[in-house]
Amino acid sequence: MLIGIDASRAVPSERTGTEQYSLHLIRALVRLGKEAHHFRLYFNQPPPKGLFERNERVEWRIIPFPRLWSHLRLAWEIHRHPPDVLFIPAHVLPLLHPSRCVVTIHDLGFLYYPETHPPLARWYLCWATRFNARHAQRVIVDSKATRDDLIAFYHLEPQKIVVAYPSGAEGFTPVKNPFRLAQVRQRYHTGESYFLYVGSLHPRKNILTLLEAFARLHKYAIIKKDTKLVLVGKRGWLYQEIFRRAQEDDLAGKVSFPGYVPTEDLAALFSGAVAFVFPSLYEGFGLPILEAMACEVPVISSNTSSLPEVVGDAGLLVDPHNVKELCEAMARLYHDPVLRNELISRGKRRRRLFSWEACARQVLSTLEAVGGFANAT
């Protein structure tokens, strides 16, 4: 059985959530595949050395193209040399695609919070999601929340949707070495005590509410005056208001923006934090939560969309629209070491419930069914 996979999203060196998903899921699929499974990975640029293996079961098709790569270059390649089934883990199906195809839809947050996206991006997300949902034989989703959204908004038949929880936390372990922790604190100007956020910087992540909660902690002297807020992540869209608020008098010098941080340093940043705070308005899953749990740091998360599915009882869940509630949760973890340790213990157990192998097993089974492999055997 020949499985074609769009691997273009796995190639960037600075990967965000969907790109991490592509990389680790494709690797897990290849590991899980048997002799009867052959994988053809499509790239829009040469992948970095060591990113993926290449052998008699795994072939690469490097097909550069300047614009509209999926709809023109990938579509043409698949038309000329069709696989038994095509899998798109983090993008949109080509306009011309094989009849047997599977696609992952990560979230429908743009429908709940359209104002947090630029108009053109919002239009494309609406079009691409509807196109994927209609034309794929199966749709993979990261959570039950996204499954329910697809049924409600696009009227998909439930049997067409497969929930396959991602894992995240690949390469993340707690950093205990004091020298290493001090080195990373100095490199990213965090100070000795800090709260941590990890994710893209754009309105749907609700960072302005986090900034207001953090400002309130300082205003009422609930935390020490040298405690910082570290916002790790690349600039997304409509991020200017975030930087403007962080420069106002009550927060000046208290908020750090390290940008993208590589995994080896990010694990240390997680490990040294008072807490990981993730107040996003909507998420299809929330990979950074599992990364935080893997690094043994307590978690504060929104109580919306898929996030309760990820957090379970291993974190504090808050209303992302309620500054007071978020502020109180941060204060609790700052002052209550017993609660911190309890959440860390629960997080270690919770983290083990998610694995890339389990995710890949569900996806591979779906690809076999759509590609006719299951019936053939």
Domains of the chain, first to last: 2-167+355-371 (3.40.50.2000), 178-351 (3.40.50.2000)
Name residue, tokens 């983290």: 351
Q: What is the pLDDT of residues 10-52, one digit of tens each?
A: 998 888 888 999 999 999 999 999 889 999 999 999 999 999 9
Report the alpha-carbon angle 31-36-40, nearest 5.
Answer: 65
Report pLDDT for 374: 55
pLDDT, tens digit only, all 377 positions of the chain: 999 999 999 998 888 888 999 999 999 999 999 889 999 999 999 999 999 999 999 999 999 999 999 999 999 999 999 999 999 999 899 999 999 999 999 999 999 999 888 899 899 999 999 999 999 999 999 999 999 999 999 999 999 999 999 997 778 999 999 999 999 999 999 999 999 999 999 999 999 999 999 999 999 999 999 999 999 999 988 899 999 999 999 999 999 999 999 988 999 999 999 999 999 999 999 999 999 999 999 999 999 999 999 999 999 999 999 999 999 999 999 999 999 999 999 999 999 999 999 999 999 999 999 998 754 43
Closest C-alpha to 132, from 144, 118, 150:
150
Tokens of 27: 């690797």
Dist CA 151 CA 109 (whole Å): 14
**Pick from 272, 268, 306: which is nearest to 287 by CA?**
306
Q: How far apart are the first and last CA of the chain?
A: 11
Sign of CA dihedral 256, 261, 265, 268: positive
